[in-house]
Amino acid sequence: MSLFRRGSAAITGSIGRLLFPPVCPGCQAAVTGSGTVCCACWPKLRFIERPYCEVLGLPFAYDLGKGFLSAEAIAEPPPFARLRAAVLYEDLAARLVSSLKYADRTDLVPLMAGWMTRAGAELIADAEVVVPVPLHPGRLWRRRFNQSAEIARLVARGARLSFSPLSLKRVKATRSQVGLGPAQRRANVRGAFQVVETRRDELDGKRVLLVDDVYTTGATVASATRALKRAGARDVDVLTFARVATGTE
């Protein structure tokens, strides 16, 4: 970049910070830089650290030994290999997800993607291609962007992985999962996803990292995983920003 362009970028950035000073995404208090959380809001985030279930990423209250699985993973093994999430879906984390999805807060994407990259480091190291959970075209038109795709784009770019946002499509206009029970959620997304025939080579024989914003019962990512594996994906790992705390102690 030339000296002139660097100078122009610096001036533009300074003007932008003056007109739109960075604020905490939790409480709107002034912060030193964009993509940061203030000291008051930081304790409201519960980051998921080991020990946790090696399959579902559910945090344990104490270390039960290497490779220990949760009761949920044993009773109903998921179709994907591993799940990792950055934070528990509660309090501030839930507000961040809602702000991104429904208030067009795309400025939160770098923050969320950064935390997810840290949480999913082992999954990213094994991945060959990153695929976001798609929205149905009708919902995408109303929302104007797919929050999972925006996050997945940055995760893939940071890890220098192939990004395949168009290989998986949602072919069924499902109702919102909010308020539905586990069985209803599974029925709602059954057969909802399909791999685009002309893009099968982007997935065939590869380990896929499937990215979504929230994991609740797992019905959505399970349905998407099955579609990916039917199309030839060697295996699928799942990375989300948040997950519910079901099964924690």
Residue 99: give its domain's CATH number.
3.40.50
Q: Tokens representing 202?
A: 């982007």
One domain for residues 90 and 193:
yes
One domain for residues 20 and 66:
no
Q: Tokens representing 30?
A: 């002034």
One domain for residues 216 and 134:
yes
Distances 188 to 41, 69, 175, 215, 241 between C-alpha atoms, Å = 35, 28, 7, 15, 22
Give the confidence band of 172 by pLDDT, cuts at 50, 70, 90.
confident
Position of tokens 């940071």? 158
Q: What is the pLDDT of residue 10?
A: 41
- In one-letter notation, the amino acid at residue 237 is D
User: Which structural domain range is residue 18 located in?
Assistant: 1-44
One domain for residues 166 and 190:
yes
> Which of 136, 68, 92, 24 lies closest to 242, judged by CA?
92
One domain for residues 115 and 191:
yes
Q: Is residue 83 part of a domain?
A: yes
- Is it true that the peptide bond before 51 is cis, omega within 30 degrees of 0? yes
How far is it between the farthest Cα atoms of the chain? 62
Q: Is residue 56 part of a domain?
A: yes
One domain for residues 198 and 111:
yes
Q: Is residue 215 part of a domain?
A: yes
Q: Is the pLDDT of residue 36 over 90?
A: no
One domain for residues 176 and 211:
yes
Number of structural domains, the chain? 2
One domain for residues 184 and 109:
yes
One domain for residues 40 and 53:
no
Q: Please tell me whether residue 216 adopts helix, strand or coil conformation.
A: coil
* Whole-prediction pTM: 0.86
Q: Is residue 2 part of a domain?
A: yes
Q: Please tell me whether residue 59 adopts helix, strand or coil conformation.
A: strand
Mean pLDDT score, 88-113: 92
Rounded CA separation 112/170 (Å): 24
One domain for residues 5 and 107:
no
Question: Is-contact 113 239, C-beta < 8 A?
Answer: no
Q: Is residue 183 part of a domain?
A: yes
Q: Is the pLDDT of residue 70 over 90?
A: yes
Q: Is the pLDDT of residue 238 over 50?
A: yes
Q: Is residue 11 part of a domain?
A: yes
Mean pLDDT score, 221-234: 96
Residue where a domain stops, chosen among 9, 27, 44? 44
Distances 161 to 147, 168, 190 between C-alpha atoms, Å = 19, 17, 29
One domain for residues 40 and 80:
no
Give the confidence band of 97 by pLDDT, cuts at 50, 70, 90.
very high
Q: Is residue 95 part of a domain?
A: yes
Q: Is residue 249 part of a domain?
A: no
One domain for residues 19 and 56:
no
